[in-house]
A = this chain, B = another copy of it.
């Protein structure tokens, strides 16, 4: 397989699940796991797992099972290697506050939320988990000054669309989007959508078809 070959999106979608599984295996003291074990734990068929792992070079060679510690290291480096560490958060309601209290250092040593934004005067100036809430007017200034490239979007409903446009213009390259809206940004910006309603539906579907 040529080195230039891009990792397919379907494989990328599964990487975080693999990473989480390997981290859990490591903390349980497991040294090696087979593709069959991964398959059973994650409900992904073994052939797909072997194909996915073929993209990871030497580490993806199965031998007598995958080396857990080496793969955890590989995945961590993949994330750390992005050099992305300055995150901003827009919308400090309940969901935003929950995320401000989340320990992102679990997944990336140097990652932190450096600023939070809201447009409610009653909230501006509050400090949540050591992060000060600033007025949304200051978005562009802070993004540029701190070279922030990742944003978490937790504003209510439609406000997200306009904010996303401002985030892109100011230099943000990736958005974790918790609003139900489809963001209108260019292809230069990576958007990952999390919709809590979709997750609840997923649960109901699984329950129905169990």
Contact = CB atoms under 8 A, between A and B. Distances in A.
Interface of A: 6-7, 9-10, 12-13, 15-17, 19-20, 24, 43-45, 78-79, 81-82, 84, 93-95, 97-99, 101-104, 106-108, 111, 149-150, 152, 173-176, 182, 190, 192, 194-210
A209 B43 contact: no
Contact of A197 (B78, B98, B104, B199): B104
Contacts of A202: 12-13, 15-16, 192
A98 B206 CA distance: 23
B207 A173 contact: yes
A2 B16 CA distance: 35
A164 to B, nearest CB: 14
Contacts of A79: 201, 204-205, 208
A115 B95 CA distance: 19
A205 B15 contact: yes
Given A9-B43, A94-B97, A78 B173 contact: no
